[in-house]
Amino acid sequence: MTNELLETAIKAAKIGGNILKEGYGTTFKIDNKIGRNNLVTEYDLLSEKSIIDFIKSKYPNHIFLAEESGKTGANDSEEIIWIIDPLDGTVNFAHSIPLFSVSIAAVKNGEILVGVVYHPLLDELFYASKGQGAFLNDEKIKVSDSKDIHTSLLVTGFPYNVDKNPYDCVGSFVKIVQKGIPIRRLGSAALDLAYIACGRFDGFFEAGLNPWDVAAGVLIVEEAGGKNTQYDGNNFDIYGNTIISTNSLIHNQIIEVLKK
């Protein structure tokens, strides 16, 4: 069953990704949702509809939780929930910055069974299924071996209401920066997590994310040997408010910095 779910998720991610490739760099309609620069384009909507339609053709009774359309499908706790971000990095996409992705996860009873993150412009497909390892384009991947936060490369992001400083997101960023640690901001949490999994980044922290931003990526990190928790070190929850994701070796160091 898991293999079938993964195959479906991969095909769906490529369907959505191909739509984004066709739209990238063209002229299209852009609207703003709640919050500053919280954009949605016609390609977010088209990608999401195409992904859901494809998965529904395979699993008509499953439930969907997607960024643009919300929760749909039968209200059955025993059914699988597909958690979908059809375009993670909409602001980048809208400004022709080539950093965005499609993120798809299948979850049952709170357990993430499969996760796929697809970067369509680079044709980089990150994926994992529970207990089977993590892969990038069919090559097995693992997290980095960096043991010291001071020689690590971190990545972060900010919520759309950063001006209100929820979860002290600005203070958390400053605490890391003041230690002289290099930090990047890509604009796609799903890619941030995928890049942790393959060792490009050593650690990631962010507050105010949604389930569709992280559900696929956290499984890929876990299956690549990494670790995911909340800021306080408690078990990660895709419906929670904060995330620290690392190669596991520098995890406690980031927690300590953020606590201070």
* Helical segments of the chain, H only: 2-23, 42-58, 90-94, 169-177, 189-197, 211-223, 251-259
82 DSSP β-pair partners? 64, 106
pLDDT score at 77: 60
Residue 205's φ and ψ, nearest 5 degrees, are -140, 140
Q: What is the DSSP letter of 235?
A: B
Dist CA 149 CA 139 (whole Å) = 27
Contact indicator for 13, 87 with CB cutoff of 8 Å? no
Q: Which domains does the chain have, with CATH numbers?
A: 2-140 (3.30.540.10), 149-259 (3.40.190.80)
- What pLDDT is recorded for position 36? 57
Residues 190-242: tens digit of each pLDDT: 999 999 999 999 999 999 999 999 999 999 999 999 999 999 999 999 999 89
C-alpha dihedral sign at 161, 166, 167, 172 = positive
Written as six digits, the tokens of 53 are 């339609």
* pLDDT per position as a tens digit, 29-60: 777 766 555 677 899 999 999 999 999 999 99
Taking the model in full, what pTM does it have?
0.94
Contact call for residues 86 and 48 (beta carbons, < 8 A) = yes
pLDDT surpassing 60 at residue 176: yes
Asked whether 163 and 193 are in contact (CB, 8 A), the reply is no
Percentage above 70 pLDDT, the chain: 95
pLDDT digits (tens, 9 = 90+) for 63-114: 999 998 888 887 666 689 999 999 999 999 999 999 999 999 999 999 999 9
